[in-house]
Amino acid sequence: MLRIRRYRVFVAFTIIFVLTVFHFARSRDWSPAAESAPLVDLAESNGPPASAPDHDSTSSQHGFVPESPPQIAKPEAKKPEPEAVGGAGAAGATDSKLDTPPKTPPKDTSHISKPDKIDSTVQYGNSIPGILGPDFGPQGQGRLEVTLPDAPGRPEPHWRKFPEHFPVPSEKLIKLPTGQPNKIPKLQAQFAEESAVEQVARNQKLATIKEAFEHAWKGYKSNAMGHDELRPVEGGYRDPFLGWGATLVDSLDSLWIMGMEDEFVAAMEEIKKIDFTTSSRKDIPVFETVIRYLGGLLGAYDISGQKYRVLLDKAIELAEILIGAFDTPNRMPVMYYNWAPDYVSQPHRANTRVVLAEIGSLSMEFTRLAQLTKEDRYYDAIARITNELEKMQDNTRLPGMWPIQVDASGCKKAHRKSAQLPPLGKPEEAQGANVPSPPMPMRAPTDVESYMNYISPSHQKRDAESFVHEDTEPAVYDAVPTQTPVARAPVINEAGKSYCEEQGLASPPYSSSDRFGLGGQSDSTYEYLPKEYMLLGGLVDQYRKMYQRSMEVVRDYILFRPMIKDDRDLRFAATVTSTRPPAGKDDFDSLSYQYEGTHLTCFAGGMFAVGAKIFDIPSDMSLAAKFTDGCVWSYEATATGIMPEGFEVLSCENAASCPWNETRYNEVLDPHPEYRVKQAELVYEKKVKSAKQAQKDLEKPAKAPSHDQENQVAKRGVKFHGSEETTTPSKTVEDSAEPHASGVAMPDKPSVLSHEDFVKARIQDERLPAGFTKISSRKYILRPEAIESVFIMYRLTGDNYWREKGWKMYEAVSAYTRTELAHSAIHDVTSGAPLFLDSMESFWLAETLKYFYLLFSDPSVVSLDEYVL
Ligand SMILES: *[C@@H]1O[C@H](CO)[C@@H](O)[C@H](O)[C@H]1NC(C)=O
């Protein structure tokens, strides 16, 4: 959140803006704790199963409607995948236990069984199955909890500063813009005076929300102060973000905004204790650390009137460590930065697979720090990323947007042969060094020696390719990209040798397609464009251009209207996989669509609204309303009144008119009834065949039963009598259509569910709200994105609709997540009695509750014309 105090612009001429930063960054944490956190099981026998049923894919079979005229032809649908084996049991493939609600009401945590101890090995919280796709590889262990054993005398390594390997000469530093800031249009609506009655009602709501915040803060303070997260059910804490106190730092601005100044001041003492130079975790997830810690500190510093110097000092201390991640030949950051001196002292290269949102969402925090400290280095660091993104923007497989993963290494690897450079040892090794391998679970150290090994770079195989030779030269930043491949800046691979053909940001090596969207992994790259524009006083037009260009493509290719039962006109954002750039506006041949709704994407409503105002795109304001309303609708659709983390819907064929089409919906839920019938018949035939075979086996021993056979058969309970040679069973089954009384039972004829019944059964078993075709992730992890957009819509339009909807959302979230200690993520929003996941991410206090609070505070509190959220 950035404060723009325009008055000061006139008072202190040299300062173009004084801006307050505080968590503008929604936590792009697509690695929710809940993914790996143990499920808190209520009574073992009564509790629903932990995981939701996962049916086959039903996505991408239908039309797509671009937002902006003229209408574009529908893209070719992705081939539907065959339905799972059908038959009577198919609909029941879903665990029927899902229907059994636990006996305990959700709030009663009294007899929650103790969850297993958190596994201290790597937590792959990264991919939300079904939403992010399987191709999302080893990147981004944003959350990682490492618990070291108690070992007195264990050496405690600390980060140290080393000279940079690839410094930017001071005359080449990209400097903060100076000059008279451009006029940025007013964001907030004109609000009418409220009546006394209205004010009382509003203040009641405000007090309710504040009480919830106080409740959760108290739980954190008494159980987990100074640690990253509270365990809101069991008590105790977790440290998945280096153990520096993520919740503490992230929540400071909320404390201030809610008038809890005493708590804020007391928290300063805890802030002083943070030691950013060490952790039990070996790598710093740069993005998470920037948004939670650096953003939290700077935001708190600004909102408290820049009176608490410790906040800025700590921010600088942290930034000095983080800036080391940018010390690469092309100055693109290493996103998982090993802080140990052994590693820092070596040269590195950025990775070949970097999540777009991570590399694209560092700008605000570093910019704000540069403004506060007048250190251009911080601004230079992120301005180079912006420049690279700008260069790449029209050279992707969906020009105008950036792929969800990018190669930031600066080295082209696919054309190694054509560059006629020396081979790299055995081909397999060379190959192995370039193709990202699936993440290997790393064991947490259990003793002093293994801890030192763990921290030391020589044991970090997966980082091997990011090491570069000492003799690597810094990239020539100002040079026009050269056509001739140049080999320089060698990369050491596992074979010990490599080289570099320079390039800018690119698709990851050997990829044949790229994914594009606004969801997790790309979201805040787009979101930061208008915000960075505001932060820089409108002086860097680059951000406006990049935003406007990308939004053209978002409107044309990403946004769609979902088909729902009522005639509410909503918008969702699809994820598109592209194999090549479309040849023209009507060419959708290279694109395949996943029509999804995810909680993370809900930020986009607020983004469209802000973009509409500051860049004067009036039509985007109605788009913003439709998009935000899509999230509101997703909350309203479920049993709890809370939106699930991720699901799929159908896209309307025509955005202008989209009546509910039951036939179409049912077809998606049961796309191949004939196939189901056929499968059931095949299964039946097979069973009959094996039953017959079994019967035959029964007869054989009658002719010449060996001892073994006899024993075998005897085990089946069939008796033989007489001599070995001549005895036959008393009755041959072959002759009888009836199963033999003492023989093998013949299978029943299959009864296959009709299309209608199958669909009904699926809807019931999977608890699909009307319009949902699949729920890929059922949980709610206290995320802020939806309420954030509702809040922005309210402040920008003044329309009371958003307050009404926001209050309903608050009531639902509060009812189902509150624990004795604080609030917890829940496992299934479609269940009438969801279970707690015993996780409370820092964004609950830092963002979610803050937005609920600001929605009902007076619009002048944290006015969006003074602050950038
Ligand atoms: C409803 O969907 C079915 C199947 O996709 C289609 O054949 C039919 O034309 C649709 N009906 C209307 C009124 O659009």
Which of 661, 672, 773 to mutate to test ligand 1, by most ligand atoms within 8 A of the CB atom?
Answer: 661
Atom of ligand 1 nearest to the CA of 62: 5
Catalytically active residues, by annotation: 288, 523, 645, 785
For the segment 160-198, what is each residue's pLDDT rounded down to a tens digit?
999 999 999 999 999 999 999 999 999 999 999 999 999
Q: What is the mean pLDDT of the chain?
A: 77
What is the reported pLDDT for 74? 36
Radius of gyration of the chain (CA): 30
Judge whether 28 and 362 are in contact, CB under 8 Å. no
Residue nearest to atom 13 of ligand 1 (CA): 661
- Percent of the chain residues topping a pLDDT of 70: 69
Using CA atoms, how far apart are residues 328 and 374, in angstroms rounded to an integer? Answer: 23
Q: Which of 217-231, 394-408, 681-695, 809-823 has the lowest mean pLDDT?
A: 681-695
Preceding peptide of 582 cis, ω within 30°: no
**With 90 as the cut, is the pLDDT of residue 445 above it?**
no
What is the reported pLDDT for 200? 98
> What spacing in Å lies between the alpha carbon of 667 and ligand 1's midpoint?
10
Residue nearest to atom 11 of ligand 1 (CA): 661
Residue nearest to atom 4 of ligand 1 (CA): 664
Instruction: Enter the tokens of residue 564.
Output: 């729902």
| Residue burial 43-55, b: 16+ Cβ < 10 Å; e: rest | eeeebbbeebbeb
Judge whether 144 and 123 are in contact, CB under 8 Å. yes
What is the reported pLDDT for 145? 84
Atom of ligand 1 nearest to the CA of 653: 14
For the segment 292-316, what is each residue's pLDDT rounded down to a tens digit?
999 999 999 999 999 999 999 999 9
Closest by alpha carbon to 151, among 556, 391, 447?
A: 447
Which residues does ligand 1 sit against, CB inside 6 Å? Answer: 661, 663-664, 667
**With 90 as the cut, is the pLDDT of residue 590 above it?**
yes
* Cβ atoms within 10 Å of 465's Cβ, excluding its own: 23
What is the reported pLDDT for 424? 36
**With 80 as the cut, is the pLDDT of residue 285 above it?**
yes
Mean pLDDT of 125-153: 50
In this prediction, residue 586 has a pLDDT band, given cuts at 50, 70 and 90, of confident
| Residue burial 688-727, b: 16+ Cβ < 10 Å; e: rest | eeebeeebeebeebbeebeeeeeeebeeeebebeeeeeee
What is the reported pLDDT for 437? 37
Higher pLDDT among residues 771 and 751, named by residue: 771
**β 405-406/559-560 pair status:** unpaired
**With 60 as the cut, is the pLDDT of residue 157 above it?**
yes
For the segment 409-432, what is each residue's pLDDT rounded down to a tens digit?
999 864 444 333 333 333 333 333
What is the reported pLDDT for 156? 81
What is the reported pLDDT for 447? 56
**With 60 as the cut, is the pLDDT of residue 29 above it?**
no
For the segment 215-264, what is each residue's pLDDT rounded down to a tens digit?
999 999 999 999 999 999 999 999 999 999 999 999 999 999 999 999 99
Higher pLDDT among residues 109 and 814, named by residue: 814
Using CA atoms, how far apart are residues 276 and 322, in angstroms rounded to an integer? Answer: 10
**With 50 as the cut, is the pLDDT of residue 126 above it?**
no
**With 70 as the cut, is the pLDDT of residue 830 above it?**
yes
> What spacing in Å lies between the alpha carbon of 657 and ligand 1's midpoint?
13
Atom of ligand 1 nearest to the CA of 661: 1
Mean pLDDT of 472-492: 35
> What spacing in Å lies between the alpha carbon of 656 and ligand 1's midpoint?
16
Judge whether 412 and 503 are in contact, CB under 8 Å. yes
Using CA atoms, how far apart are residues 832 and 814, in angstroms rounded to an integer? Answer: 14
**With 70 as the cut, is the pLDDT of residue 336 above it?**
yes
For the segment 35-89, what is each residue's pLDDT rounded down to a tens digit?
323 333 323 333 333 333 333 333 333 334 444 433 333 333 333 333 333 333 3
Mean pLDDT of 91-96: 33
Closest by alpha carbon to 33, among 813, 842, 648, 849?
A: 842
> What spacing in Å lies between the alpha carbon of 63 and ligand 1's midpoint?
12
> What spacing in Å lies between the alpha carbon of 793 and ligand 1's midpoint?
35
For the segment 613-670, what is each residue's pLDDT rounded down to a tens digit?
999 999 999 999 999 999 999 999 999 999 999 999 999 999 999 999 999 999 999 9
In this prediction, residue 515 has a pLDDT band, given cuts at 50, 70 and 90, of very high
What are the structural domains of the chain?
172-387 (1.50.10.10), 518-673+757-842 (1.50.10.10)
Residue 772's beta-bridge partner residues? 649
Is the pTM higher than 0.85? The answer reads no
